[in-house]
Amino acid sequence: MKQQPFGNFTRLLYPALIFCVFLFVTACKPPAGGGIKFASLKYTSGQVTHWLDSAKTNNFVFQFYAPAADNEKRPYQLISYIIDTAGNYLNAANPDTLSLAKDSLTTLNGKVILGNSYISKKTILDMLKDSGGKKRDFDYLLLIPKILSANQHVVYQVQIIKGEVVLKCGTGDVNSNPSPPATMQ
């Protein structure tokens, strides 16, 4: 019987090939507990009030920010651009960076659409009014990530925080507005 010149090699190659394919397939699986990590964020009173006091401010535009894109454990954050009444950016070179709220990591799963979102100056001013129509004192706005069920956009629910207390908002629940599809007014 004639021996195949690569017979033994071929017998070893097939199991090695199957093992390599197995490793490749299992290495491409998403990690257990996968999803995209987001954090609830603080937009400080000082930052917000600075822009609310400006007659030029029209909209707060939020854009996703990854402080360490190579670290999957670091959540997405937001930066905030301010647009004036003429449609120009007031802080294009130096947007506000919203800080992480303590112990606020959220993992969002399923289909999500990441894009800019905004809140108008008028909406924030309305949120900050007390029952007598005067502007309330606050420590920060808390932005909490969530997925809009209607279109799978990631938006942020906005709450007013003073000390450790969530202040009731006369306008009801307020979410940032994904744009597109929304347009700024």
pLDDT, one tens digit per residue, over 133-168 is 888 999 999 999 999 988 999 999 999 999 999 998
What is the Cα–Cα distance from 103 to 49, expressed in whole angstroms? 25
Structure-token pair, residue 135: 């502007």
Report pLDDT for 107.
Answer: 85
The letter for the amino acid at 29 is K
**Number of H-type helices and E-type strands within the chain:** 3, 11
Question: How many Cα atoms within 13 Å fall on the side-chain side of residue 69?
Answer: 3
Q: Which pLDDT does position 33 carry in this prediction? A: 55
Phi and psi torsions of 149, nearest 5° = -65, -25
The distance from CA 178 to its chain's CA centroid, rounded to whole angstroms, is 11
**Which residues, 6+ apart, have CB-to-CB distance to 129 below 8 Å?**
135, 136, 170
DSSP 115-183: --EEEEHHHHHHHHB-TTSPBPP-SEEEEEEEE-TTT-BEEEEEEEEETTEEEPPTT--EE-EETTTS-
Paired residues of 77 in beta bridges: 65
- Say what the pLDDT of residue 20 is: 40
Residues of the chain with pLDDT under 70: 1-34, 182-185
Per-residue pLDDT at 22? 44
